[in-house]
Structure 1
Amino acid sequence: MRRALALACTTLLASSCAAVAATSASAAPPPTPSASLPAQATAALQRHQAAVEGSPQDRYTVYSSKKDARGNGVVRYTRTHQGLRVYGGDIVVRVDARGEFTGSSSGLAAPLSLSVTPKVGAARARAAAERAFSGKVTSVGAPELFIDAGAGTPVLAWETVVKGWAKDGQTPSRLHVVTDAATNAVRGSFDEIETVDGTGNSIYSGTVHLDTTASGSGYSLVDSEHGNGRTCDLNNGTSTCTTFTDADNVWGTGTNADRASAAVDAHFGAATTFRYFREVHGRNGIFGTGAGVPSRVHYGNAYVNAFWDGSQMTYGDGSGNAKPLVALDVAGHEMSHGVTENVIPGGLTYSGESGGLNEATSDIFGSMVEFYAGTGSDPGDYDIGEKIDIRGTGAPLRYMYNPALDGVSQGCWSTSTNNVDVHYSSGVANHFFFDLAEGTGATAYGTSPVCGSADPVVGIGRDKAERIWFRALDTYFVSNTRYVNTATPGNTARAHTLAAAADLYGLCGTEYKTVQAAWTAVNVAGTDYCPTGDDFSLATSPATATIDRGQTLTTTLSTTVTNGTAETIALTATGTPPGVTVSFSPAEITAGESATVTVSTPDTLGTGSYPLTLTGTSPSVAHSTQLTLTVRSPEGCTGADDTDVAIPDNTTVTSTVAISGCTITPSSTSAVEVHIVHTYIGDLVVSLVAPDGTAYTLHSRAGGSTDNIDQTYAVNLSGEAPDGTWTLRVQDAASIDTGYINSWKLSL
């Protein structure tokens, strides 16, 4: 999507409000590298929906896919629930070179289960969005109903795009306003136009090489080496932009007296940022498609601003049209927002800790672009906005080595971090990155303190640090990744950067341990650890398995030596349901070896999900891992009906399924999955009627004014014969509200 990360007037590369939703008009995702990878990942996703908190009403669409040099694949998906877009529902599925599931990332803490019927109509949502706009409105789009799960708790909401001009009359605005579909309260907003307010002291980049295109007898600022990005002159207007041309291919004078001088900096910044991501991270430019970034200079009259609008950069000339805002770290920061929003569907949610990670990602890569460029006029450093002097004091806007120096940023995580402006919560990740790359204490770039009683950190260098951060972004982050997350502890920047470090440099190596230490140094703790004595790790492949009742399955339990020497490991299983047996072959292995795990289930085992704990015990240490067993009814023991049946007032209706050829005894936890659309479920009595006429009440006038039933009920049907006609009976016991049976499914 186009991400508007608008900025406060005293904040570099920043924006107005907190974004809580993504636009439905998404940027085109990068092309997939092969037809087989999405198919492999989708098959893995179907087998492991529990890992991404999937529900029966969820649908997934491939957003992007890529393979690394070892053939491992990463596929990103967007999610809909009951036909509605779910912001914060994006997922990542990872598979190995064989297409086997190796892991996933998801921002949801539990499967979605909520009404999708709004209590506030689109017209009221549109009016609320227009009231939330500050400036001159030129148009208001049609509100879109969606599920906003960006902040963790899913809420039905409307998103409305209001277009116009900001209060200054020169900055274009495409404001996305999110309103609660139950109360019409504004939940948040974000602007597609990413701005940076400030003033520059000079033209910044010095004498640099430019890639241009021969045009007739002269040259034009069109960069065929970097996706045909062009640089053009708005002539202090806001619309018509004329591509710069020159007779001798020598551009500008290094002073603002020559209009081409600002164009040199902008053109150089676009090419350098493109080249940085391509050569350092293997990404084909900002958008991942090879397309270049257009740069527009000399925007507006005395416009003290620059902005990214999702597709191009625009730079004003500053106060008195004398100080163009074309510094290299400004360009690198802003275009890195473009990378983030094209890697993650909708980008990192622009509020709270996720928004801080969004801003920090741009600070990190903006600084790394400076180092990569290696110009004498603007050498690399960890100061943000040091050239454009926004405050007029000569001081940078932000300090990555000690964020608290600006007086407002947080350099140490605390329980308040999620509630501060994203440009201040970014300090935690900025501080982490500096410590990871350069270490704590006195450095060539400033003195970095540790938080609390944390141990000092010895850095691993910029090259490794930037690669770890990019891999975490590219392979693990989802839209609502945070620093600390009690609901989904695995969806944190610490966990994801550790996974990236393990991928690149090995589990519990120097780089991995430095990532741990650098997060601890900014007060972001974790349960991860690296051993000091003889130790091993334990994993199952696959970690989840589906089986019919009465059947047997096998999986592989593998071990890896993580420290010291390989010891003998005894294997055991606990948490098995009655009648389930788990055996290992062999029952003892040496660390580094694998064993075959065999799980047998009885006919009487109920359908459902069972976590089995597999434990390996050596003389030095014991470790456990889970094998999640999903038990279903065998073929012939399930039935479903998705034919709509109207439920009028004060009426009883039925829907039936026929079961035949089922040879097992129904379970004591047979599953009845019911989907009823109704505006007041307190009116309803819902029962399952067995073939012999026995009725089992599932729902009896509970829930009051709650809309819709979307629930799976566990029913003890062990005393029933399986074959015959089973009936779902629904009674509407009151007036006014009506609805219909949408679908239902019985698994004996």
Structure 2
Amino acid sequence: MIIRQPAAAHYGCSALHRVTWFVIAIPVLSVPLYSQLASTADALTTRPDLRKHGWLIVADSAQTSVQKFITKNSSRFGFADNDALEIIASHIDKNGWTHTKYLQHYKGIPIEGADVVFHADKSGNVQSVNGKFVIGLTATGATSVSVARARELALAYLTSDEYAWENESQEAMIKLSTGNAYATYYPTPTLVFTRNADTLAVEAKNLVLAYRVDIHSVTPSYAYRIYLDPTTGNELRRTSLRSGNCNPTTATVYTVYNGQQTIHTEEIPQSNPTRYRLYDPCRRIQTKYESNDVTNQGTTWYAALDGFTQAHWGAMRTYDYFQHGLGRPGGPLDTTKVMVQKLTSDIVGAMYSNGAIFSDDNSTSHCHDYMTNLDVVAHEWTHGFIENTLADLQNQGASEAKVLNEGFADIFGEMVECYVGSQSDQCGTWKAGGECTSLESNYPRNLKEPTASQGARTYCGLNWSGDVYAKSGVLARWFYLLTEGDTASNDHCCYPITQQNFIVVDGVGTTIASDICYAVLTNGYLTSASDFVDAGIATAYYTDLEYGTPALYSVINAWHAVGVYEGLGENACGTFDVYNSPAVAVSTRAYRTCIPPLGNGLWVKDNGHLTTTSGRYIHMRTGTRVDAGGYFHARIQQPCSTWVAKVGGTSVLESQLDSSLPLSHRTYPLSISIRPNPAHATAMLDIVTNRNVVVDIEVNNLVGSRAILQLGGVQVASGASAIPLDVTTLAAGLYLCLVRTPESISTCYFLVE
């Protein structure tokens, strides 16, 4: 193990410190974290089923400090000399837990998206770990192109009449927005391992060595991150970087959308007559027109400046929400200064970039007036907030992390509308940019029913083929359901727990719902390359820690209602089904196919064949019986992930979709269910298997942080068996039953009343 202390450490004013503390030599693991570890790693966790999703819920017996945890378990992880974890950030939450984020390096070169967060309680013991590692990198790290040459090539690929570092006002802006007197837009190529496309998984097979160069231009206006081959200098890909002592003078202003308001301004020294500019010295918010100050004579501002004063007031109120509504120390961007800058023809809509929020003033493009709506400003502000959290979700490209980033931005935009109360009439409309009368059919975005604005309401459902803004509707709708509650349905046909075509979500209110979103970002339960499955697990984990049931049940039901199941009851009671026919073919364009749609499972007889075509998932219901000669043939038209079907507990992968699968050669089918559900004093665990087997039974709380009931070495005979479980000592709530065999783990959720 290598531990390096920095020569000097800089500590900011908040609990988040973006500094390198030390480097720990650590193995390159699988992605997601622990997904391919040997079964011996199961001794570390009470939820081995979550390892494939990048989560390790640490068992009580394995809890220790972060460094001791890594050292003690090095043999399980297979440490390698070329691999290291570098601490890049740390955060202490309101409960005293420390969340420490590491970035994986290979031969000293950072790997984009390969970050992991250790969560330690107040005693310093690791309670959980989540993130993404990479295994199997064999690159030498050698380059033929120098840093200077990489810069020359990047500028040749991205030409400009005037680059940002050639513009004095732009250089002054980045120094002000970052609080760093040495900050500059001048590009510095950085050697990294990156994915061939940001939509690919963070895995060795998808990684290439590249120079990463950020280029910002004034004329024409653009900001790109370009990746270059370090041996040939060829461009690999590019992504846009655009998505956004206190003694103030109080002023009265008119805003475009929120009427007359009060703002903070600053007197311009030695101006005669006295003039004021849109700068709030308390919140460090400066509103400019291009690179020019927006000024006014006197403290009652001209109505003609309402677009600028709207933006300034919106930024002030957004700041207040993050600091006072959510308790963000030091403001939403910590010590970073924020500017809301109005541009003319180059910016369409609004965006966040390098600590500044930008908005256009083209009244015909998106809104009937300036696009400085309160929730639009809050949306772009949120991008800056996320950039300064442990999560630091990717904010460029088309990955699911970028989709989540946009979704959270819409969510907090809506929350700011509600935070200002009577000063806005948009709270509860669940529309992003609700005041806009857009010429485009997908804006304003409808967060309650995203399909109304051409967005997606279901993960891998209708409109999922749209852009990141369309896909972000899934997260927005999840938040709406979690907040207000509803009887919901999605584009899939059934649900893991209820086996019905609808699901009831009990609302938890805006306070709890927004705290859940805030916590998974600031505490690092999400990381830079997180996807929707990660978001589901992260929100459920935090909710169980902080609020318990029934809030936890609401979180899971809301995810199910938008089509996110994995890690949240994917193997819940009643997910294995069959058909009773010697030859059956089922074809549907639905994204989730249930066989049969409702009711009990049927029987695939000896020499029988079942061929199924679906859009993403195929679920086989309770009652499965497949004779030794029975075959299952799965064909997925539009898979969204590698896990696409399950039969008898066996996952059917993409590589196996076009081949018939003899079940008798692949698995020993075992299905479980709990009755009655909800249970009271005694619950019966029904187990159906095709052989005699010895099983271990556990009942855990939802995230599996501790075993509440345990039965070891239970003999189960071939056929159907019923095992009584005493639940009299269990508090009302949702529980997870695990049945382990030598080959598999079956899980089933049940409710105790």
Does residue 1:156 correspond to 2:202, yes or no?
no
Which segment is superposed worse, 37-46 or 288-297? Answer: 37-46
Does residue 1:365 correspond to 2:407, yes or no?
no
Give the whole-Å Cα distance in 1 for the aligned partners of 2:361 and 2:729.
63
**Paired positions, count:** 500
Does residue 1:284 correspond to 2:284, yes or no?
no
Aligned partner of residue 390 in structure 1, secondary structure: coil
- The residue number in structure 2 matching 1:8 is none
The residue type paired with residue 230 of structure 1 is Q
Does residue 1:521 correspond to 2:570, yes or no?
no
- The residue number in structure 2 matching 1:497 is 539
Once the two structures are TM-superposed, the CA of residue 69 in structure 1 deviates from its matched residue by: 3.3
- The residue number in structure 2 matching 1:97 is 122
Once the two structures are TM-superposed, the CA of residue 495 in structure 1 deviates from its matched residue by: 0.6
Give the whole-Å Cα distance in 2 for the aligned partners of 1:472 and 1:92.
11
User: In structure 2, do the counterparts of structure 1 residues 514 and 244 end up closer, same or farther at CA, with 3 Å as the change threshold?
Assistant: same
Q: Is the 8 A contact 2:393 2:401 kept in 1?
A: no
- The residue number in structure 2 matching 1:76 is 101
Superposed CA deviations along residues 573-612 of structure 1, whole A, max 9, x for unmatched, are 9xxxxxxxxxxxxxxx99999xxxxxxxxxxxxxxxxxxx
The residue type paired with residue 332 of structure 1 is A
Once the two structures are TM-superposed, the CA of residue 382 in structure 1 deviates from its matched residue by: 1.4
Q: Is the 8 A contact 1:161 1:174 kept in 2?
A: no
User: In structure 2, do the counterparts of structure 1 residues 436 and 180 end up closer, same or farther at CA, with 3 Å as the change threshold?
Assistant: farther
Query: Where in structure 2 are the equivalents of 1:322-333 lying within 5 Å?
Result: 323-333=369-379
- The residue number in structure 1 matching 2:260 is 207
Q: Is the 8 A contact 2:243 2:353 kept in 1?
A: yes
Query: Where in structure 2 are the equivalents of 1:562-581 lying within 5 Å?
Result: 569-570=710-711
Once the two structures are TM-superposed, the CA of residue 277 in structure 1 deviates from its matched residue by: 1.2
The residue type paired with residue 356 of structure 1 is V
Q: Is the 8 A contact 2:211 2:230 kept in 1?
A: no
Give the whole-Å Cα distance in 2 for the aligned partners of 1:62 and 1:389.
46
User: In structure 2, do the counterparts of structure 1 residues 365 and 621 end up closer, same or farther at CA, with 3 Å as the change threshold?
Assistant: closer
Which segment is superposed worse, 349-358 or 268-277? Answer: 349-358
Aligned partner of residue 443 in structure 2, secondary structure: coil
User: In structure 2, do the counterparts of structure 1 residues 326 and 170 end up closer, same or farther at CA, with 3 Å as the change threshold?
Assistant: farther
Query: Where in structure 2 are the equivalents of 1:664-743 lying within 5 Å?
Result: none
Task: Give 1:310's match in structure 2, choosing from 333, 343, 354.
Answer: 354
Aligned partner of residue 338 in structure 2, secondary structure: coil
Give the whole-Å Cα distance in 2 for the aligned partners of 1:71 and 1:624.
35
User: In structure 2, do the counterparts of structure 1 residues 128 and 264 end up closer, same or farther at CA, with 3 Å as the change threshold?
Assistant: same
- The residue number in structure 2 matching 1:223 is 280
Give the whole-Å Cα distance in 2 for the aligned partners of 1:244 and 1:311.
22
User: In structure 2, do the counterparts of structure 1 residues 524 and 303 end up closer, same or farther at CA, with 3 Å as the change threshold?
Assistant: closer
Give the whole-Å Cα distance in 1 for the aligned partners of 2:555 and 2:509.
12
The residue type paired with residue 221 of structure 1 is L
Give the whole-Å Cα distance in 2 for the aligned partners of 1:214 and 1:339.
28
Give the whole-Å Cα distance in 1 for the aligned partners of 2:738 and 2:364.
70
- The residue number in structure 1 matching 2:747 is none
Query: Where in structure 2 are the equivalents of 1:266-415 lying within 5 Å?
Result: 266-284=311-329, 288-297=333-342, 299-300=343-344, 304-319=348-363, 323-344=369-390, 347-348=393-394, 350=396, 351-380=398-427, 381-391=429-439, 396-407=443-454, 409-414=455-460
User: In structure 2, do the counterparts of structure 1 residues 159 and 341 end up closer, same or farther at CA, with 3 Å as the change threshold?
Assistant: farther
Q: Is the 8 A contact 1:91 1:478 kept in 2?
A: yes
Aligned partner of residue 348 in structure 1, secondary structure: coil
Query: Where in structure 2 are the equivalents of 1:415-430 lying within 5 Å?
Result: 420-430=466-476
Once the two structures are TM-superposed, the CA of residue 38 in structure 1 deviates from its matched residue by: 7.5
Superposed CA deviations along residues 15-49 of structure 1, whole A, max 9, x for unmatched, are xxxxxxxxxxxx998754799x9895455455456
- The residue number in structure 1 matching 2:309 is 264
Superposed CA deviations along residues 123-149 of structure 1, whole A, max 9, x for unmatched, are 886677557548657489454321115
Aligned partner of residue 503 in structure 1, secondary structure: helix
Q: Is the 8 A contact 1:274 1:285 kept in 2?
A: no
Q: Is the 8 A contact 2:447 2:473 kept in 1?
A: yes
Task: Give 1:482's match in structure 2, choosing from 531, 551, 555.
Answer: 531
Where structure 2 has 5 or more consecutive residues not aligned to the other structure, the ranges are 1-9, 23-64, 166-185, 245-254, 494-500, 573-676, 683-697, 715-725, 731-735, 743-753
User: In structure 2, do the counterparts of structure 1 residues 162 and 534 end up closer, same or farther at CA, with 3 Å as the change threshold?
Assistant: same
Once the two structures are TM-superposed, the CA of residue 101 in structure 1 deviates from its matched residue by: 0.9
Q: Is the 8 A contact 2:483 2:513 kept in 1?
A: yes
- CA-atom RMSD in angstroms: 4.5
Does residue 1:85 correspond to 2:107, yes or no?
no
- The residue number in structure 2 matching 1:466 is 514
User: In structure 2, do the counterparts of structure 1 residues 621 and 284 end up closer, same or farther at CA, with 3 Å as the change threshold?
Assistant: closer
Once the two structures are TM-superposed, the CA of residue 98 in structure 1 deviates from its matched residue by: 0.9
**Bigger relative contact order, structure 1 or 2 (CA pairs below 8 A, ≥6 apart):** 1
Once the two structures are TM-superposed, the CA of residue 523 in structure 1 deviates from its matched residue by: 1.2
User: In structure 2, do the counterparts of structure 1 residues 561 and 145 end up closer, same or farther at CA, with 3 Å as the change threshold?
Assistant: closer
Once the two structures are TM-superposed, the CA of residue 352 in structure 1 deviates from its matched residue by: 2.4
The residue type paired with residue 417 of structure 2 is E
Does residue 1:117 correspond to 2:159, yes or no?
no
The residue type paired with residue 354 of structure 1 is A
Where structure 1 has 5 or more consecutive residues not aligned to the other structure, the ranges are 1-26, 196-201, 443-447, 485-491, 537-557, 574-588, 594-619, 627-748
Superposed CA deviations along residues 504-530 of structure 1, whole A, max 9, x for unmatched, are 201xx1111111111111111134359
- The residue number in structure 2 matching 1:176 is 225
Give the whole-Å Cα distance in 2 for the aligned partners of 1:175 and 1:621.
49
Give the whole-Å Cα distance in 1 for the aligned partners of 2:265 and 2:188.
42
Query: Where in structure 2 are the equivalents of 1:232-247 lying within 5 Å?
Result: 232=288, 234=289, 238-239=290-291, 241-242=292-293, 244-247=295-298
Give the whole-Å Cα distance in 2 for the aligned partners of 1:429 and 1:44.
34
Give the whole-Å Cα distance in 2 for the aligned partners of 1:38 and 1:144.
20
The residue type paired with residue 310 of structure 1 is N
Give the whole-Å Cα distance in 2 for the aligned partners of 1:437 and 1:53.
44
TM-score calculated relative to the size of structure 2? 0.57
Once the two structures are TM-superposed, the CA of residue 209 in structure 1 deviates from its matched residue by: 2.7
Superposed CA deviations along residues 255-301 of structure 1, whole A, max 9, x for unmatched, are xxx22x2232111111111111112222135554244422233x336
Query: Where in structure 2 are the equivalents of 1:12-23 lying within 5 Å?
Result: none
TM-score calculated relative to the size of structure 1? 0.58
The residue type paired with residue 521 of structure 1 is A
- The residue number in structure 2 matching 1:487 is none
Q: Is the 8 A contact 2:89 2:390 kept in 1?
A: no
User: In structure 2, do the counterparts of structure 1 residues 134 and 465 end up closer, same or farther at CA, with 3 Å as the change threshold?
Assistant: farther
Q: Is the 8 A contact 1:438 1:459 kept in 2?
A: yes
Once the two structures are TM-superposed, the CA of residue 354 in structure 1 deviates from its matched residue by: 1.7
Q: Is the 8 A contact 1:352 1:421 kept in 2?
A: no
Aligned partner of residue 211 in structure 1, secondary structure: strand
The residue type paired with residue 401 of structure 2 is S
The residue type paired with residue 116 of structure 1 is T
Give the whole-Å Cα distance in 2 for the aligned partners of 1:94 and 1:53.
22
Identity of aligned residues (%): 21
The residue type paired with residue 398 of structure 1 is R
Give the whole-Å Cα distance in 1 for the aligned partners of 2:346 and 2:738.
68
Query: Where in structure 2 are the equivalents of 1:138-149 lying within 5 Å?
Result: 138=163, 141=187, 143-148=189-194
User: In structure 2, do the counterparts of structure 1 residues 467 and 143 end up closer, same or farther at CA, with 3 Å as the change threshold?
Assistant: same
Once the two structures are TM-superposed, the CA of residue 456 in structure 1 deviates from its matched residue by: 3.3
